[in-house]
Amino acid sequence: MIKYIVAVLLLGGVAGYFNTSWKSVVSGLWVSDYLLNASLILLLFVMGMVFSMDKDSFSKIRRIGIRILIVPLAIVLGTILGGVVSAVILRINIVATVSVSAGFGWYTLTGPLVGQIFGPKWAALGFAANFLRELLTILTVSLMVKLDKYAPTASGGATTMDTTLPIIVRYCGSDTLITAFSSGFILSLIAPFMIMAIASLA
């Protein structure tokens, strides 16, 4: 499955390059505003169908219990700690680095938001670091699941609510759907507030 994802990703990059080079009538704004949103809505619809078709879904929610909150909390703590350690090793601005980390993989939010506060260099870093988090989750999910079936959920961060959810369910099992989705939802909800709160310390 991963080889197909990588192939489609590369094909999309090539298509975007030629679309820009040839000044095609296919507007980049149209693609981002309509096609991308439509595909995400379809993705969430399909995952909702998968969840509702599972007769044991509600009993699974009861069995998961407090873990729905523990998993995203652990991801937040691990991500912030990782940002601090990275800043110390690279000898760069700790507050800005942790702000970038607090995007939890939501690169379309983190880049512009961090850029407004710390400047264009950090906007680029915020986009790149969080985009790579999503990409590496997709590419290494089959390896991470051997460590722990919830490791890809931790790696995916906020993206486990949408883009990385199908591949996590594919490799980690349908019983991880609820935990992965709820974790991604919570992280997506708190990401903008955490970025602003951390950035205010600068």
**Domain range annotation of the chain:** 58-199
Q: What is the pLDDT of residues 113-149, one digit of tens each?
A: 898 899 999 999 999 999 999 999 998 999 999 999 8
Cα 38 to Cα 193: distance, rounded to the nearest angstrom: 26
**Which contacts (CB < 8 Å, 24+ apart) does range 147-153 have?**
149/173, 149/176, 150/71, 150/176, 150/179, 152/180, 153/71, 153/75, 153/179, 153/180, 153/183, 153/184
Q: What is the pLDDT of residue 89?
A: 95
32, pLDDT greater than 60: no
161 burial class (0-12, 13-18, 19+ CB within 10 angstroms)? buried
Q: How far apart are CA 73 and CA 96, in angstroms?
A: 21
Prediction pTM value: 0.75
Give CA–CA dist 73/88, Å, rounded. Answer: 23
On average, the pLDDT of the chain sits at 82
